[in-house]
A and B are shown apart, each in its own frame.
Chain A
Amino acid sequence: MRGYRETHEMDCERVGDEGLQGDRMDVLYGEADAAVRARVEEHVAACAACREEMAALRSVRRDLRAWRRPTARPTFTPRGLVLPRWAAAAALLLLGFGATLGVTGYASLRRSLAEQEARAGDLERRHRDTVQALEAALRGRPPATLDTTALLAGLDARIDERLRASEARQSERLDRRLASVEERADAQRRVDMARVAASLSYLDGRHGAQLARTNELVGYVIEASAQKR
């Protein structure tokens, strides 16, 4: 079999004609209009190399379809599934056990549902009786009147009373705190005065002692000068 390039280059006189290449692509992919198709067909009818090439390109296009995109893997493929006998037997056993459980469960569920319904019916009857008894009792009693004005007045009075009590408590607490503050300030003042007095007497004392010492030294000086004379 001769290669494409060899055949094409050797035999087609329009090799390298990009216009013709484009037209052939249009025809190959079904995008050519009638004029282009006629042009290509005319050339291909007369050119064995291009005829062969078009057939080869169609064949390549068919081959390209072999590369398919993966589809979602099926979760269960019966045709390809091969199980050992022991596994199949175990599966059957499990299936049977499951089915038995299912049937038993279903019967049990039905029974409990029936019991539940009976209990609900009984409860409903009792409620209905109670409601009827209450309605009968209400029918036998005179209608109650509600004095809303008196109720509101009472409520107002209670609110006022609470407000007054709260104000009194606040005032009392304030007085106590003021008294405490005054007392503390007085004590502090007394402490400060005592400190000042102590400091003054200390200074006076030191000053007095120093004066006495000076007088004594002056006395020594006078006495010494008298003896010298």
Chain B
Amino acid sequence: MGRTDEELVEACQGGEGSAFDVLVGRWEDRIRGAAYRFLGSEEEARDVAQEAFLKAYRSLSGFKREARFSSWLYQIATNLCRDRLRRRKTRATVSLEELEEAGPVMVETGPGAHDQLLALDLARAVRDAVESLPEEQREVVILKEYQDLTFLEIAQALGVPVSTVKTRLYRGLGQLRRRLEREGVRGRAPVPAPAP
């Protein structure tokens, strides 16, 4: 059984440098994933993840157990993304190449081609819809939908009450619903079969 994040943090604080490597291995991909959703660029997401871990390592001595390590890490990464977005004049856009990598890209002739095109269209519409949300709602939607954090973890990461997180998410989902309806793409995702 591996050590928990908090045990690893304690080990780091006690001078066991290799414990931090375990934390990086455990969280790097997810932090990069969140940064990618915020910024729309895999390259920038990689930079943000590195920066976030560096910042976390430097401030590890000051980390208190009031919040979970993961929430603290997400908080650092979210702030870094906010800084980058503010520095940008225009909203980040994902290149078609990146988008194609994300979805079912091998569009071929023959049966299934139509479904693939629809899926690609839906992916593009969803990305645009999420990017169009106000920053507060976008952060909550990304952390909940794509990072699967609990409401409490999101609240800790963003430094707001849990009730605020739920309200922002509710409003964000409502906006997404309306936008996807306008685009004519809502409800295209296949409905999963009910559990037996």
Contact = CB atoms under 8 A, between A and B. Distances in A.
B1 interface: no
Contact of B150 (A21, A31, A59, A79): A31
Contacts of A68: 102-103, 123
Contacts of B26: none
A80 interface: yes
A64 B145 contact: yes
B144 A29 contact: yes
B167 A69 contact: no
Interface stretch (A1-9, A117-125, A184-192, A215-223): A1-9
Contacts of A21: 166-167, 170
Contacts of A60: 173, 176-177, 180, 186
B42 interface: yes
Given A65-B189, A70-B36, 18 more contacts: A22-B163, A22-B166, A25-B151, A31-B151, A56-B177, A62-B189, A63-B176, A64-B126, A64-B145, A66-B119, A66-B189, A67-B126, A67-B127, A69-B42, A69-B102, A71-B102, A77-B106, A79-B106
Nearest to A19: B163
Contacts of A1: 181
Nearest to B33: A69
A61 interface: yes
Closest 10 CB pairs of A and B: A70-B101, A62-B189, A67-B126, A22-B166, A66-B122, A68-B102, A25-B166, A66-B123, A60-B177, A63-B189
Given A31-B151, A63-B186, A64-B126, A70 B102 contact: yes
A18 interface: yes
A66 B103 contact: yes
Contact of B98 (A26, A65, A70, A80): A70
Contacts of B130: 64, 67
B169 interface: yes
11 contacts: A1-B181, A3-B181, A4-B177, A31-B151, A62-B190, A65-B189, A68-B102, A69-B42, A69-B102, A70-B102, A77-B106
Contacts of A31: 150-151
A73 interface: yes
Contacts of A99: none
Contacts of B64: none
A94 B69 CA distance: 55
B177 A57 contact: yes
B97 to A, nearest CB: 9
B62 interface: no
Interface string B138-182: 000100111000110000000000010011011001101110110
Contacts of B186: 59-60, 63
